[in-house]
Amino acid sequence: MAEEFSSEAKSGGSWQLPAIIVLGLIAIGGLAFGWNASSKLDATQQAVTTQVKSMQQAVDQDMTSLKDRLAQSEKTSAELQGDLKVVTDKLKITQGQLKKAREEAAKSIDETSQKLTALDTSVHTELATKAGAEELKNVDTKVGGVRTDLDQTRSDLKMARSELGTLIARNHDEIDQLRRLGERDYIEFTIAGKNKPQKVGNVTLELKGVNEKKGQFSLALTAEDKQLQKKNRAINEPIFFYLGGTRIPEEVVVNKVGKNTVSGYVSIPKANSQPASSSASSSGQ
């Protein structure tokens, strides 16, 4: 009996030791696997945290930039509304003044025409009884001259006026009418081709583009080494500019546009030539 127990104990001890070793290895492997998984989890969590922070910073920057742009847009919109109001107010004043001036001029012409008709009738009646044929002819000549001046004034009033009150000629015949007034010098021009500077009077004009369908053009205007860019301007719309030492503006008007070509005139007030001539004479002395 004792021998049987001893043999069983020996056989039981022989398989328990390897089992313990195997279990120990499994436990060590489990610990190593758990530690590795924990390390990877920490690294992944740290990477995700860093990425989230980076995304949050990017979103904050975008929000800040968006707020700045929105504030700038609101400021620009407010400035544009203010400028538009000022221009609108000035335009209303200018249109009101222009309308009043035309009404007064038309009234004056009507009154002059009535007086002239009455004078014509009175003169003919008186001369029919007192004057000879030669005197009647002289009077008719004078009356005809007055009527010609009156017709010229009426023709001038049919021309459009700029916001500064200058008459705007729309063709060569109207330019000749303005020349006869003697207040300005008019230099006609035709520019054919883009990016070809052309000297016209005391300025240089360079055609930049033409929209023939809309009747618009763009050009560069150079005067006294200063260049002005005028984009998408309409025909018969005066472009005003000032030269140094002058108070009356000069103007460029384009009457006609074609395929890469424009025609018009430069209007120079005769008063602007006085400072230049006086300075030239003083330098000559």
**How do residues 117-151 score in pLDDT, each as one tens digit?**
777 677 667 666 665 556 556 656 655 655 555 55
The least confident of 59-73, 123-137, 234-248 is: 123-137
Of 36-45, 145-154, 218-227, 267-276, the poorest mean pLDDT is in: 145-154
Share of the chain above pLDDT 70, in %: 70
User: Which class is domain 167-277?
Assistant: mainly beta
Confidence class of residue 3 from pLDDT cuts 50, 70 and 90? low
Q: How many residues does the chain have?
A: 285
Q: Is 226 buried (19+), middle (13-18) or exposed (0-12) by CB count in 10 A?
A: exposed
CATH 2.60.98 in the chain, residues?
A: 167-277
pLDDT score for 211: 93
Q: Which helix (H) or strand (E) holds 206?
A: strand 203-211
Between the two ends of the chain, the Cα-to-Cα distance in Å is 153
Q: How far apart are CA 145 and CA 79, in angstroms?
A: 55
Quick one: pLDDT at residue 279?
A: 37
Please state, in angstroms and rounded to a whole number, the distance separating the CA atoms of residues 183 and 267: 10
Sequence-ordered alpha helix ranges (H) in the chain: 2-130, 133-158, 172-181, 273-284
Cβ–Cβ under 8 Å, residues 204 and 225: no
Phi-psi region of 232 (alpha: psi -120 to 50; beta: other; left: phi over 0): left
3-state SS, 97-137, equals: HHHHHHHHHHHHHHHHHHHHHHHHHHHHHHHHHHCCHHHHH
pTM of the entire structure? 0.44
Res 143: pLDDT = 56
Amino acid 204: pLDDT: 93
